[in-house]
Structure 1
Amino acid sequence: MDVPQSTPSMGVEEEFLLVDPRTGQPAPLGAEVVAAAGRRFGVELDVELARAQVETKTSICHTLADVGRQLRGMRLVAADAARGLGCTLLATGVPPVGGPEVATAGGDRYRHLAEDYRLLAREQSICGCHVHVAVPDPETAVQVCNHLRPWLPVLGAVTANSPLARGRDTGYASWRTVVWSRWPAAGPPPYFESAEHYESVCELLVDSGAAHDRGMVYWDVRPSSHLPTVEVRVADVAATADEAVLLAGLVRALVTAALADVHRGLPGPRVPTELLRVASWRAARDGLTGLCLDVPSERLVPTRLVLDRLLHRVRDHLDGDDLALVRDLLARVDLHGTGAARQRRAHARAGRLSDVLDQVAADTVAGTETWAGQAGLSSTRAE
C-alpha cells in the first residue's frame, strides 16, 4: 500500500501487569521478564515504576497493519517470557486483585519518585496505552494538542478496560483514569497559546516539584518530551491488540486532521480545562455504552454518538484500507463490548475473580496465533 506523503508515521507504547496465576496478586517480576525477553527472543522491553509491570514499544510504523503486527508480536513475547517465570501477563488498566500499594522498581529515578510522591507513587500500578504521531516542530505540536483536546474523553472511552480493583467492581469503566487524575500534571491539558507558553508552564511544574522533569508532564495529550511527536496518553491499555490498533488509527487520523487545520491557520477550540475534566470523568465512569458530556454543546449525549462525530471528523484523513479496518474493528467492539464490558460479563457469570483473570489473559494474546506461526513460536493461552 502506498502511504500518502501527508500521512504521518506513528508508534505505540503499551504497559502490562504481571500477576500470580494462582492468586491474581501483582507479581513483582518486571525486571526479570524484561531480561528473559531479551535473552530468549532478543526483544527489548522496559520496566516501569511498579515492579509488577512491563512496557512494550513498537518501532516507527507507517500503516495500521504494521502497528498490528508489531503489537501482537510484542504481546506474545512478553506473555511467553512472563509464563516462563511463573506469572501471567495481563492487559488491564489496574490490577483487578491486590493493592493498592505495590512494590516499586529500583534505580535512582524511581527511588526519587517514591521519596517525593510518597503514597501516590506506591499506589501507582496503572497500565496505559500511548500513541505517538509525528509532527514537524514544537510549535505545530502544541497547536495539534489544542485541536485534540475536545476528543480526549471519547478516546478514553473507546478502550476503557479497568472496571475492577481490589477484588470488586468500581462502578467505572476506567478506574485507571480516576487513579491517574491524582497526579499534579495529569488529565486534560490547558489550552496553550504557543510553544513558548507550553514551555513556561512546564518550567513551573518542574520548579514547583509537581514534576521531576518533562517526562513527568503526564497530560492526556502532550508534545513528547523526547521524540518529535504528539503523544496521546488518555487510554487504558487496550484489552486486545486489535483494540489498540483501533485507538492508533483514530489518534493518527485526528492528528492528521489537526495538521491540516494548523496548516490553514485554524486554531483549536478554546475548551475550558474544567469542562474537559468533567467530560473525562463522565466518560471514565460510563464507558462507550453510556453517556458522556458533549464538549461543544455541554450536554449529556450517548458516548457512541460522539464517537460517530469523531469518525466523521477523521474519515477524509484515513485512506481506504485504514478506514475499512477502523470500521471493522469498531464493529467488533460494538458487538463484543470494550475490555471493561467483557471483564464485567466474566465476573457476572459466577462471581469469580478467577474468571475475570482468565478473560483478561486470553484477550491479552488474542490474535497472536498468526504472528506466532510466522515467527516459529507457540502462542500463549490462559490455562
Structure 2
Amino acid sequence: MVEATVPSRDVPAGTPTLGVEEEFLLCDPVTKQPKFLNTEVAAAGRDLGVDLQLELTRCQVETATSVGNHIRDLQDQLRERRIAAADAAAHAGCQLLAVGTPFYDPPPHETTHTSRYQRMAGAFGALTAGVMCGCHVHVGVEDRKQAVRIINRLRPWLPTLLALTANSPISAGVDTGYASWRYILYGRWPSCGPPPYFESVNHYDTAIATMLEAGVILDPHMVYWDVRVSDHLPTVEIRISDVPATVDETITYATLVHALVVTVMKEIAAGCTAPIIDQEVLRAACWRAARDGLAGRALDMDSVRLVPTPQLVRRLVDYIAPMLAEFGELERVIASLEKVFDQGNGAMVQRRTLAQSGITDVIDECARRTAGGCGRQTDTALSPS
C-alpha cells in the first residue's frame, strides 16, 4: 500500500500524485531456491525502520513509497527501501532479488499465512503457487469517471511499458523463450490481462460485479488487469510492469508512467476521445511484448505491423515529451533509456549472463543489480550475515 503524502518540490499546483510499489523475491544465497521467510524478513525490516509488506507467497516482500507530486519526491525513498529490504533479507538469511519470477519453481502450499491469502489458495488452487513480482505505479485521479477514461487512453501503451521493463526470462534454470515469463504466468489468472475498453464507470463496475458473481475474483482487490482503478486509493494503478532490475530503471519507468497519465489527463480535459483498440489486437501485442521484450519486435497499434521495440519506446517519449520537459525530466529520461538500449534491460542482462557464465552467476548478478545504485552497497546487502 502506498504511504502518506510527502511535500512536493517545485511542481505546478494540481499535479497528480505519484506512488510506487515494488515486489521482490527472496532466495537462498547458496542453493538459489526460493526462501520462504517473508515474515522473518518483514520483522527484520521493522528493526531496520522499513515497512515490508507480505505478498501472496512466502518468498516475496513488497516495498511502497510515500505519495509525492514528482519523481524527485520519491527517488531517494526507492533507493533507501531497496537497500533496507536487501539488508533485512540478509539478516534473515536470504538474498533479495528484483526479478519478475523465481529462477526455480517453488513447491506448492507456500502461500502466506493470512486469512485472505489462505482463502485465495482454497478458491484458486495451484494458481496461487505462482510467484510473480511486479512494479505498480499509482497516479492520483479526481474521481472514478476520470480514472476509467484514463484506462481507455493508456491501453495502447501497455505493451510498450511491459517490453521496456521485462525482467523474467528464466524459469527452472533455463531460458523460457519469453522476456517476461511473469506476464505469461500472470495470464493464467482469470482477472488478469489488458482491460477492455469501458464505455462508462457503470460498464467498469458491471464487469467487476460479473467477475464477483462468477467467482473469478473473491473481492475487488483481485481485479488484476494491467491497469485498474484502485479499490482502496483515489488512484489509477498501472500494474503491467515486471519489477525492474535496477532502481534507476524503476525511477525512469515511474517517471514515464506519471508523465503519460498526466498527458492523457490533459487530452481528456480537452475533449479528445480514446482510440478503441480491439481487445484481441491488444492481447496479441501484450503477448508479443512478453515474448520479445526490449530486444525484439513489437506490434505497432497504428499499422498492426511488427516494428523494432525501441522504436515504440521512443514514440512514447515523443508523445509525452512536453510533460517530461515540464517536470524537468526529459533529458534524464532520454539518457536513462539510451543506457538501457545500449546495455540491456533486466531480461537482456539475465540472458547474456546465462550464456556467458551460467545460472548461479545470473542470480548473483541480479542481487548486485537489485541493491546497486542505492547510495551504498555493502556485503550485508548482498549476502546473509
> For residues 260 and 118 of structure 1, what CA distance do their matches in structure 2 show?
43
Distance 1:254 1:130, change over 3 A: same
The one of 28, 34, 39 aligned to 1:31: 39
Q: State the Cα distance separating 1:358 from its structure 2 match.
A: 0.8
> For residues 81 and 99 of structure 1, what CA distance do their matches in structure 2 show?
21
Letter in 1 for 2:209: E
Contact 2:163 2:293 in 1 (8 A): yes
Letter in 2 for 1:12: V
Q: Which residue of structure 2 aligns with residue 210 of structure 1?
A: 216
TM-score, length basis structure 1 = 0.95
The one of 275, 290, 306 aligned to 1:284: 290
Letter in 1 for 2:53: D
Q: Which residue of structure 2 aligns with residue 363 of structure 1?
A: 369
Q: Secondary structure at the match of 1:77?
A: helix
Contact 2:70 2:327 in 1 (8 A): no
Contact 1:102 1:125 in 2 (8 A): no
Q: State the Cα distance separating 1:298 from its structure 2 match.
A: 0.8
> For residues 229 and 235 of structure 1, what CA distance do their matches in structure 2 show?
17
Identity of aligned residues (%): 47
Count of aligned positions: 375
After TM superposition, which residue ranges in structure 1, 4 or more long, deviate above 6 angstroms? none
Moved more, 354-363 or 320-329: 320-329
> For residues 310 and 4 of structure 1, what CA distance do their matches in structure 2 show?
23
CA distances 1:146-198 after superposition (whole Å, capped 9, x unpaired): 00000000000111100101111001110001000111110100000111110
> For residues 297 and 113 of structure 2, what CA distance do their matches in structure 1 show?
42
Q: Which residue of structure 2 aligns with residue 232 of structure 1?
A: 238
CA distances 1:62-97 after superposition (whole Å, capped 9, x unpaired): 222232211111111110011011110000000012
Q: Secondary structure at the match of 1:120?
A: helix
Contact 2:90 2:380 in 1 (8 A): no
Distance 1:212 1:320, change over 3 A: closer
Letter in 2 for 1:333: V
The one of 261, 264, 278 aligned to 1:258: 264
Contact 2:295 2:348 in 1 (8 A): no
Q: State the Cα distance separating 1:36 from its structure 2 match.
A: 1.1
CA distances 1:315-340 after superposition (whole Å, capped 9, x unpaired): 01112521122112112211210000
Q: Secondary structure at the match of 2:381?
A: coil
> For residues 100 and 187 of structure 1, what CA distance do their matches in structure 2 show?
25
Q: Secondary structure at the match of 1:118?
A: helix
Q: State the Cα distance separating 1:5 from its structure 2 match.
A: 2.4
> For residues 212 and 335 of structure 2, what CA distance do their matches in structure 1 show?
43
Q: Secondary structure at the match of 1:131?
A: strand
Unaligned runs of 5+ in 2: 1-8
Q: State the Cα distance separating 1:382 from its structure 2 match.
A: 5.5
> For residues 55 and 305 of structure 2, what CA distance do their matches in structure 1 show?
38
> For residues 380 and 76 of structure 2, what CA distance do their matches in structure 1 show?
14
> For residues 29 and 18 of structure 1, what CA distance do their matches in structure 2 show?
8
Contact 1:369 1:379 in 2 (8 A): no
Letter in 2 for 1:273: Q
Please provide the CA RMSD for this pair: 1.5
Q: State the Cα distance separating 1:121 from its structure 2 match.
A: 1.0
> For residues 284 and 100 of structure 1, what CA distance do their matches in structure 2 show?
25
2:168 pairs with 1:167: no
TM-score, length basis structure 2 = 0.94
What does 1:335-350 align with in structure 2 at a 5 Å threshold? Answer: 335-350=342-357
Q: State the Cα distance separating 1:33 from its structure 2 match.
A: 0.6
2:381 pairs with 1:380: yes
> For residues 327 and 64 of structure 2, what CA distance do their matches in structure 1 show?
26
Contact 2:54 2:61 in 1 (8 A): yes
Contact 2:99 2:243 in 1 (8 A): yes
> For residues 382 and 41 of structure 2, what CA distance do their matches in structure 1 show?
17
Q: Which residue of structure 2 aligns with residue 118 of structure 1?
A: 125
Distance 1:241 1:34, change over 3 A: same
CA distances 1:91-121 after superposition (whole Å, capped 9, x unpaired): 0000012336461111211111001000111
What does 1:237-252 align with in structure 2 at a 5 Å threshold? Answer: 237-252=243-258
> For residues 288 and 200 of structure 2, what CA distance do their matches in structure 1 show?
29
The one of 76, 80, 92 aligned to 2:87: 80
What does 1:1-383 align with in structure 2 at a 5 Å threshold? Answer: 2-38=10-46, 40-99=47-106, 101=108, 103-122=110-129, 124-318=130-324, 319=326, 321-350=328-357, 352-369=358-375, 380-381=381-382
Q: State the Cα distance separating 1:312 from its structure 2 match.
A: 1.1
Contact 1:17 1:92 in 2 (8 A): yes
> For residues 336 and 6 of structure 1, what CA distance do their matches in structure 2 show?
37
Q: State the Cα distance separating 1:379 from its structure 2 match.
A: 6.9
> For residues 8 and 31 of structure 1, what CA distance do their matches in structure 2 show?
34
